[in-house]
Chains A and B, each alone.
Chain A
Amino acid sequence: MITTPAKRIGALAFAAAMVVAACGSSSSSPSAAATAAAPAASTSGSSSIAGPSSCVDGTITASGSTALQPLVDAAGKAYTAACPKSTISVQGGGSGTGLTQVSQGAVQIGDSDVTAESKLASPDAAALVDHVIAKQGWVVVVNNGVTGVTNLSSQQLQDIWACPNGQATPKITNWKDVGGPDMPIVLILRPASSGTRATFKSVVLNGQPECAGQALTEDSNGAVTTAVGQTPGAISVIGFAYYQSNKDKVTAISLDGVAGSVANMTDGSYKLSASGHMYTKGQPSGLTASFMDYMMSDPIQHTLIPSLFYAPVK
């Protein structure tokens, strides 16, 4: 059964509300939340996520990566549902924002797709403690009109994407050179600062620069999906969860013969993936420490994470 992440989160909120209601705690309005979330839960059939083994009171904020936001948000809601005296607020803003804010002490947790060393000056990065909580994957997608291409090798992707040594255009600019129709390739990139682009550049392109002058640049998974969906010959990279909810709009391509799936990412055979980081300034304490432990617990690692198309790290 295929469900969207949104439905899963809805189901989770429902489950969370039920936990609160069952405990008979004095939460503000569990019945209203349960009623509102009920239709989503009934269609998804997702199992509930167990709360943490022990509660710590307090208020913390996590900000950063929008790719990790659905996961951290869902985990935060599951935690606070079981521990009504705790408040965990989860915001996006981008990996750079999250790292900057945790480094300045503005938030307790900075979520990031990339390491702190790649974004911050070395003394600032050294003050942060890295917690790898999940693996996230990306899949190469093409417009549905690109028929006959089901797999591309890293070498072929480099020839489509990269402009090394000041080259003006990539080596391959037509789909017929990789087994597809006679149609120009339209490359769609994410902004240079995005974690998606950084990961693709290091994992697939071996650090070679993209042909940005020849490409379109779109600023989010959603915008990329729309652009690939409507532009003939388009190719780009989107996160697993976005592909799962847009399977009819774009076509996924295997990378070096391996399909992008949670199972292939978990066993390590699919290489276009990266660690999801949660950074704290120094060793965490109080609610932050408790929430970090919860992120590594079985309910999150083995139930929540696969359901949102991430892979567990333990």
Chain B
Amino acid sequence: MTTVESSLSRAQPGLRARLDVPRRITLAAALVVIGAVALLLGFIVWRGLQLFVASGVPVAQIFTTAWQPDPLSAGTNYGLLPFIGGTLAVMAVAAVIATPLSVGLALFLAEVAPGWARRIVQPAMEVFVGIPSVVYGWLGLVVLVPYLRTQFGWMGFATGFSWFAGSLVLSLMILPTITSISYDAFVVVPADMRSASLALGTTRWQAIRHVVLPTAATGVATAIVFGLMRAAGEALAVQMVIGNAPVIPTSLARPVTTLTSQITLDMSDATGTWNEALWTMGLVLLIISLTFVLIIRRLGRRSTPA
């Protein structure tokens, strides 16, 4: 490559510079993005630490359960456990609901579906992604919440606003994410492996169960983690249906709250230390997301399909 370029530049002066233009453009784009990410991370970390640095709240206090941020009442306490617990709980149940559905759908699309079915389901998935979260939240509020209250009141859904309602709405929202990434993992499993399995006399289901699924396992795990990440960051739709009670989640039928939900509830009016506590919630959310990114990278290193 180098020798070709240098001989070219000898042959035609200025050509080398022109060849360099795309490289510079792409490099600039990369630098802008890296810079933006670094600035964002730096800003959130800096603001998120002010609660401890500027206001002198002990770090251990955020791992308590009492959320009493109002400076006008006696004794403030910035316990973030209800929000951290709520975020993890709502997210986990959403993943439990969405994973079997999504992986099943992805397998159907990749292994079973005739061409025409794929042509219907894939655009349908894209529509799913395109629906704004406020619409999911609104549907949850006017359809799901009253339904849970009237049909499942005997199970403890006193108001319908609940951990379960939040998880169900979220599961619908992360379904396309998990489906499309799992689908990609299934289609890259080499056809030869399937053919070899079938040639040995296995049924199609046995081939899927013992060849396709294990080969694509890391890809599917990555899909689930991406789904969890999307779930952790979703605010609006969840906030509309979970009731936002700052308590440690104990029952799927009871209201809980999440980090994102509390940030959006309080951000317009909280000032001073209270405001700093919201930034600390943002930092905690960032740490949760970064943990997922690390998990995905670890999975990516392990996976070597084809």
- A→B interface (CB under 8 Å): 66, 92-97, 99-100, 118-121, 184, 186, 191-195, 198, 207, 209, 212-219, 223, 226-227, 230-232, 234
* Distance A119 CA – B271 CA, assembled complex (angstroms): 6
CB of A279 to closest CB in B, whole Å? 13
Does B85 touch A at the CB level, under 8 Å? Answer: no
Residues of A within 8 A of B280 (CB): none
Residues of B within 8 A of A223 (CB): 240
Does B126 touch A at the CB level, under 8 Å? Answer: no
- Cβ–Cβ contact B145 & A212, under 8 A: no
* Distance A37 CA – B58 CA, assembled complex (angstroms): 56
**Closest partner residue, chain A, to B257 (CB atom):** A217
- Of the candidates A92, A94, A219, the one having the most CB atoms from chain B within 10 angstroms of its own CB is A219
- Cβ–Cβ contact B271 & A191, under 8 A: no
**Closest partner residue, chain A, to B65 (CB atom):** A213
* Distance A191 CA – B246 CA, assembled complex (angstroms): 11
CB of B158 to closest CB in A, whole Å? 7
Q: Which of B142, B255, B269, B272 is A230 in contact with, Cβ under 8 Å?
A: B142
**Closest partner residue, chain A, to B255 (CB atom):** A216
* Distance A118 CA – B274 CA, assembled complex (angstroms): 12
Main secondary structure of the interface of A (DSSP, over half): mixed
* Distance A227 CA – B240 CA, assembled complex (angstroms): 10
- Cβ–Cβ contact A195 & B247, under 8 A: no
Known contacts A120-B271, A231-B149, A215 near B266 by CB under 8 Å: no
Residues of B within 8 A of A99 (CB): 271
- Cβ–Cβ contact B271 & A216, under 8 A: no
- Cβ–Cβ contact A231 & B160, under 8 A: yes
Residues of A within 8 A of B161 (CB): 216, 227, 231
Known contacts A186-B158, A191-B265, A209-B73, A217 near B271 by CB under 8 Å: no
CB of B183 to closest CB in A, whole Å? 37
**Closest partner residue, chain B, to A96 (CB atom):** B269
CB of B235 to closest CB in A, whole Å? 11
Q: How many residues of B contact A (CB 8 A)?
A: 36
**Closest partner residue, chain B, to A215 (CB atom):** B245
- Of the candidates A95, A214, A231, the one having the most CB atoms from chain B within 10 angstroms of its own CB is A231
Q: Which of B72, B240, B243 is A118 in contact with, Cβ under 8 Å?
A: B72
- Of the candidates B142, B146, B244, the one having the most CB atoms from chain A within 10 angstroms of its own CB is B244
CB of A185 to closest CB in B, whole Å? 11
Residues of A within 8 A of B233 (CB): none
Chain A proximity mask over B113-151: 1 for CB below 8 Å, otherwise 0: 000000000000000000000000000011001100100
- Cβ–Cβ contact A198 & B158, under 8 A: no
Chain A proximity mask over B231-266: 1 for CB below 8 Å, otherwise 0: 000000001100111110000000101000000111
**Closest partner residue, chain B, to A218 (CB atom):** B244
Residues of B within 8 A of A227 (CB): 161
* Distance A229 CA – B70 CA, assembled complex (angstroms): 29
* Distance A95 CA – B274 CA, assembled complex (angstroms): 14
- Cβ–Cβ contact B160 & A213, under 8 A: no
User: Within B262-299, which residues are at the interface with A (CB < 8 Å)?
Assistant: 264-272, 274-275
CB of B106 to closest CB in A, whole Å? 36
CB of B200 to closest CB in A, whole Å? 58
* Distance A100 CA – B272 CA, assembled complex (angstroms): 10
Can you report 12 residue pairs joining A to B where beta carbons are below 8 Å apart? A95-B268, A96-B270, A99-B271, A119-B271, A121-B272, A191-B265, A212-B245, A216-B244, A216-B245, A219-B244, A230-B142, A231-B149
Q: Which 8 A-B pairs have the closest CB atoms?
A: A94-B268, A193-B269, A217-B244, A96-B269, A191-B265, A216-B243, A94-B269, A193-B270
- Cβ–Cβ contact B72 & A214, under 8 A: no
Does B9 touch A at the CB level, under 8 Å? Answer: no
Chain A proximity mask over B207-249: 1 for CB below 8 Å, otherwise 0: 0000000000000000000000000000000011001111100
Q: Which of A97, A184, A209, A230 is B146 in contact with, Cβ under 8 Å?
A: A230
Does B159 touch A at the CB level, under 8 Å? Answer: yes
**Closest partner residue, chain A, to B161 (CB atom):** A216
* Distance A209 CA – B275 CA, assembled complex (angstroms): 20
